[in-house]
Structures are given as C-alpha cells and as structure tokens.
Structure 1
Amino acid sequence: MSVQEEVLEKSATETAEEEQNQIIVFNDDVNTFDHVIEMLIKSCDHDALQAEQCTLIIHYKGKCAVKTGDYEDLKPRCTALLEAGISAEIQ
C-alpha cells in the first residue's frame, strides 16, 4: 500500500467517525443533579461516575455531549431524556 493510499484510507475512516451523531444535553434551572445523573445511567448506559462528570460539565459549561453513535441508536435514548424533562437534542 502506498503512502497516498494510506492517507486516503485514514481520511475516509476519520470522515466516517465524524459523521456519528451525538446527544447533547443542555443545562437548565429545573432538573436536579440526581435526576440528570439517574437519567444518564438509565438512558445512555453511563456508569455513576461518567454520569456525574457529564452532569458537572452540563452545569458549568452549559451543555455536554453525553452519547455518540448512530442516529437510530440515539433517537430512543434522546426521547427518554426529553420525556424525563431534560433538554436534549441529537446533533
């Protein structure tokens, strides 16, 4: 494989990874830390530490990408967050 072919292959792989969608959760003045943590564990398969860290990022930065993946996988997860009163969207 030539250097040019390797560069093209790497570029194609990176592009495919970049096309992954993300669930973004936004900060609000309504939900408690415990509620957001609980919902990230239930909806996004986070462990307790990961959910707590994401919740702190949401609080201090205003938003956080909490899950990355295919749209079809993210849609029901995002819907569960929205139904729990958490401000979230897929980007």
Structure 2
Amino acid sequence: MSTDFDIAIEEEIQTGEDIGSESLRDLMVYNDDFNTFDHVINTLVKVCKHDVHQAEQCTFLIHYKGKCSVKKGMYEELKPMREGVTSAGIKASIV
C-alpha cells in the first residue's frame, strides 16, 4: 500500500538520479614512458588549475596505477582541459 509520503520519496529519488546522471564525467590521464613527472605536474597545474600538491598526487597515481581521474565535471567543462592535456603530449580521455 502506497502513501502520499512514499510517492513523494520515490519522486525525490527519481529526480535526484536524473540530476546525478546528467553527464558528470571524469577527465582520465594515462601513464606513458615519455613524459616527465615535472611536465605532467606543470600541465595539471596550468590546464586543470590544480595546486602543486594535488598535481603531484595525481601524477604519482598516474605513474603507479596507470591512470588517474584528475577532474570530474560536465563534458563541456572537461573538453578544453582534455585538449590542453593532450596538446601537451599527455594521453587523456573523458570517461
């Protein structure tokens, strides 16, 4: 048996899911054998507006794990960042 309260909760959950799935993506950066730590760090600071500490942590994750999500956001927000990272010679994608 449904009550008005149950219906209101179900509508709220459905609305929250719709908002949450609205194109939130990750800017994924991948490890390679060519770019130096300093180059990747400097690129993340410049392109993604990371502070140095955050860029260093992401770079270590990229190196040791093979990849790292360096930014989360809408596709339209991440696209110029991906282009900036890839134009610096670093492999990146939006997933």
The TM-score normalised by the length of structure 1 is 0.87
Which structure 1 segments of 5+ residues have no match? none
Q: Which runs of structure 1 show a deviation greater than 4 angstroms over 4 or more consecutive aligned residues?
A: none
User: Structure 1 vs Structure 2: percent identity of aligned residues?
Assistant: 48
Task: Summarize the Cα distance change of 1:49–1:72 in structure 2 as closer, same or farther, 3 Å threshold.
Answer: same
Q: Note closer, same or farther for the CA distance 1:28–1:9 as it changes in structure 2 (3 Å cut).
A: same
User: Would you say 1:81 and 2:85 are equivalent positions?
Assistant: yes
Following TM superposition, by how much is the alpha carbon of 1:13 offset from its aligned partner in structure 2, in angstroms? Answer: 2.3
Which deviations, in whole Å up to 9, do the C-alpha atoms of 1:22-63 show, x marking residues without a partner? 110000000000000000011111111100000000011100
Q: Where do 1:20-31 residues align within 5 Å?
A: 20-31=24-35
TM-score, length basis structure 2: 0.84
The amino acid that maps onto 2:19 is A
Instruction: State the partner residue of 2:60.
Output: 56
Determine which structure has more spread, i.e. the larger CA radius of gyration.
Answer: 2
Residue-pair matches, total: 91
Segments of 5+ residues of structure 2 without an aligned counterpart are none
**Structure 1 pair 12–61 and aligned structure 2 pair: CA distance change class (3 A):** farther
